[in-house]
Amino acid sequence: MKLTSILLLLPAIALTSAIDVSEEIMDIEARDDKRPPPNTTYMIACKHQDFHGWCIPDNKWVPWGKCFTLDKTHSNAITSYRVLDGCCAFFRRPGCTDRLFEAHNRGHGRVLRKLGKGHNDQISSYKCAKECGIRDGE
Ligand SMILES: *[C@@H]1O[C@H](CO)[C@@H](O)[C@H](O)[C@H]1NC(C)=O
């Protein structure tokens, strides 16, 4: 690669690492002082971007391996989410069927603003675990 192309790439590289760092800071801010309960993953999912509007669940430490189906008010309405200390799978249909995506220690909120078109206002159920590779179903 020529030196000029390397120089042109530098700002892009710097921008990428800046985003990573600010996401890490967000993640630290999100943590409670309390120690997490055992065998849980921290997850919040909110109605509007940047974690505005209502958020679910009330208790943000989600027990592993259990499927949660959102009620009428909350399904097909999630726009931002964050997952820490584990993985969560999100599904289009109740009972953890018709998978949308899995998220490991990441979130769509302040940095990425909101879920992409294909996933915005689509989530009806979720299940969390220590690692990704979460199975569909209850
Ligand atoms: C957490 O999970 C491990 C392994 O699955 C299990 O052995 C342990 O009893 C669990 N602890 C609690 C408090 O549920």
**In a shared domain, residues 108 and 61:** yes
Nearest CA to ligand 1 atom 4: 39
Residue 105 CB–ligand 1 contact under 6 Å? no
Domain range spanning residue 46?
Answer: 35-129
**In a shared domain, residues 63 and 125:** yes
3-state secondary structure string across the chain:
CCHHHHHHHHHHHHHHHHHHHHHHHHHHHHCCCCCCCCCEEEEEEEEEHHHEEEEECCCCEEECCCEEECCCCCCCCCCEEEEECCEEEEEEECCCEEEEEEEECCEECCCCCCCCCCCCCCCCEEEEECCCCCCCCC
134 part of a folded domain: no
88 part of a folded domain: yes
- Res. 116 pLDDT band, cuts 50 70 90: confident
**In a shared domain, residues 103 and 54:** yes
Q: What is the pLDDT of residues 63-98, one digit of tens each?
A: 999 999 999 999 999 999 999 889 999 999 999 999
Residue 39 CB–ligand 1 contact under 6 Å? yes
pTM exceeds 0.95 for this model: no
Ligand 1 mean position to 128 CA, how many Å?
A: 15
